[in-house]
Amino acid sequence: MKRPVPPLPPGAWLGLLGGGQLGRMFCMAAQSLGYRVCVLDPGSDSPAGTVADRHIQADYLDAAALDEMARLCGAATTEFENVPAAALDRLARDIVVSPAARSVAIAQDRIAEKDFIRGCGIDVAPYCVVTTQADLMAAEDALFPAILKVARLGYDGKGQARVADRTEAIEAFKAFNAQGTLGDVPCVLEKRLALKLELSVVVARGFDGKAVAFPVAENVHRGGILAVSTVPARIDDSLARQATEATLQIAARLEYVGVLCVEFFLLEDGRLVVNEMAPRPHNSGHYTIDACITSQFEQQVRVLAGLPLGAVDALCPSVMVNLLGDCWLPDGPAGGSSEPDWSSVLAHPGVKLHLYGKTDARVGRKMGHATVLGMSVEACHRTADSIERQLGIVR
């Protein structure tokens, strides 16, 4: 893998595949360090494209667009895991790319991902691979009740179905294969486990193999979408170390370069199992922008430019609240207002508001987030609860 030696100087161009809010925050972090950013994204009005120094509007596999980015930029990265690995491979012929296409390809496929994690000696939920209805008929009874998940292109609860038994699993499999965007793809049937908590760890790893881990986040999902992240997670130190060490081990075995998030399930019996990983900055790491010495996005820039990693210490407890499009909609829980009352949100001391510049509010669409900073987790939660009530967020 090519690496930036010496480090890219301020004023150099960094490339980004993807135009979403993660890319937007990457652009802002890069620009604060003096870099210019070129975004390649097919959208005409994307969150990242509107703040980037240059926007190439093209498909991710457009050879001419990729070559144009390679001529301009000294290094490139991605802001979402479903970018075609072939696009990263093409860029890597000429410039520094992180993460590598191999790392992204493993994370893009739940089957490859679970096989890789088990190969690291780390537990995942019991599962079986499903490519035909016959695989479901042969699945062990002990796997039910379960969740059927498409192997590729599923995120934020999409491409998933909770199934009580074999009959429901077969119907869900048929439904996935009847949908044009998800059709004819393999799935995994994953046993539903008794969960106590959901956790995540974000790490940054450089080309030199040095890695740092941010504090463990405790997460709450609603409808398959992250709703609230609490840092530090309310778990004992030994569990925090176990989750952190497992994440660092996965990153090392993957020879990963960049920012990586690993999500965990803490089971009622005290065991820790990996749910999935994301080869990019993660929603549950947004607290790092305001609560840590170095944000996950600055780390992504530092890695890409060949700079030393920053400190990951949390300066104070924090709670991050996701702001979905439901809050904007006339018929949503906010009660008829097309724009939420941000003054009431910012009236709370210690609240930092981040809006992503999206103009089309839709149910379940991530429009922004608010991070509450405070002297204790309990104090942060009291403020976060108040904000959710003010915005009519259903909990």
CATH number of the domain at 37, please: 3.40.50.20
SS (H, E, C) the chain: CCCCCCCCCCCCEEEEECCCHHHHHHHHHHHHCCCEEEEECCCCCCCCCCCCCEEECCCCCCHHHHHHHHHHCCEEEECCCCCCHHHHHHHHCCCEECCCHHHHHHHHCHHHHHHHHHHCCCCECCEEEECCHHHHHHCCHHHCCEEEEECCCCCCCCCEEEECCHHHHHHHHHHHHHCCCCCCCCEEEEECCCEEEEEEEEEEECCCCCEEECCCEEEEEECCEEEEEEECCCCCHHHHHHHHHHHHHHHHHCCCCEEEEEEEEEECCCCEEEEEEECCCCHHHCCHHHHECCCHHHHHHHHHHCCCCCCCCECCCEEEEEEEHHHCCCCCCCCCCCCCCHHHHHCCCCEEEEECCCCCCCCCCEEEEEEEECCCHHHHHHHHHHHHHHCCCCC
User: Which tokens in the block code for residue 313?
Assistant: 């210490």
Q: pLDDT tier at 395 (50, 70, 90 boundaries)?
A: confident
Residue 187: is its pLDDT beyond 60?
yes
CATH number of the domain at 184, please: 3.30.1490.20
Pair (135, 80) in one structural domain: no
Pair (325, 227) in one structural domain: yes
Task: Supply the pLDDT for residue 179.
Answer: 64
Answer whether residue 334 is part of any domain: yes
Q: pLDDT tier at 169 (50, 70, 90 boundaries)?
A: very high
pLDDT tens track for 360-381: 898 899 999 999 999 999 999 9
Pair (301, 373) in one structural domain: yes
Average pLDDT along the chain: 93
80 or 266: which leads in pLDDT: 266
Task: Supply the pLDDT for residue 72.
Answer: 98
Q: pLDDT tier at 332 (50, 70, 90 boundaries)?
A: very low
> How many C-alpha atoms does 114 have within 13 Å on its Cβ side?
17
- Give the whole-number percent of the chain exceeding pLDDT 70: 95
Task: Supply the pLDDT for residue 75.
Answer: 97
Buried b (16+ CB within 10 A) or exposed e, 91-127: bbeebbbbbbbebbbbbbbbbebbebbeeeebbbbeb
Residue 330: is its pLDDT beyond 70?
no
Amino acid identity for residue 276 in this structure? E
Task: Supply the pLDDT for residue 18.
Answer: 96
Pair (245, 328) in one structural domain: yes
Task: Supply the pLDDT for residue 183.
Answer: 47
Place of tokens 């690291």: 120
pLDDT tens track for 224-257: 899 999 999 999 999 999 999 999 999 999 999 9
Answer whether residue 6 is part of any domain: no
Pair (341, 216) in one structural domain: yes
Pair (280, 345) in one structural domain: yes
Pair (325, 226) in one structural domain: yes
User: Which tokens in the block code for residue 153?
Assistant: 């292109």
pLDDT tens track for 88-114: 999 999 999 999 988 888 988 999 999
Q: pLDDT tier at 80 (50, 70, 90 boundaries)?
A: confident
Answer whether residue 223 is part of any domain: yes
CATH number of the domain at 222, please: 3.30.470.20
Answer whether residue 312 is part of any domain: yes
Query: How many Å apart are CA 64 and CA 105, to the nearest integer?
Result: 23
Place of tokens 């993957």: 254
End residue of a domain, out of 191, 217, 238:
191
End residue of a domain, out of 158, 176, 191:
191
Task: Supply the pLDDT for residue 154.
Answer: 63
Number of independent structural domains in the chain: 3
Task: Supply the pLDDT for residue 184.
Answer: 59
Answer whether residue 104 is part of any domain: no
Query: What domain range is 269 assigned to?
Result: 195-390
Pair (257, 342) in one structural domain: yes
Pair (199, 343) in one structural domain: yes
Answer whether residue 131 is part of any domain: yes
Residue 58: is its pLDDT beyond 70?
yes
End residue of a domain, out of 161, 191, 221:
191
Answer whether residue 110 is part of any domain: no
pLDDT tens track for 65-78: 999 999 999 999 99
If you average pLDDT over residues 210-225, what whole number do you get? Answer: 96
Pair (273, 370) in one structural domain: yes
- Give the whole-number percent of the chain exceeding pLDDT 90: 82
Answer whether residue 106 is part of any domain: no
Task: Supply the pLDDT for residue 1.
Answer: 62
Amino acid identity for residue 284 in this structure? S
Pair (219, 80) in one structural domain: no
pLDDT tens track for 271-326: 999 999 999 999 999 999 999 999 999 999 999 999 999 999 999 999 999 999 99
Query: How many Å apart are CA 294 and CA 26, to the nearest integer?
Result: 13
Contact yes or no for 305/75 (Cβ under 8 A): yes
Pair (172, 47) in one structural domain: no
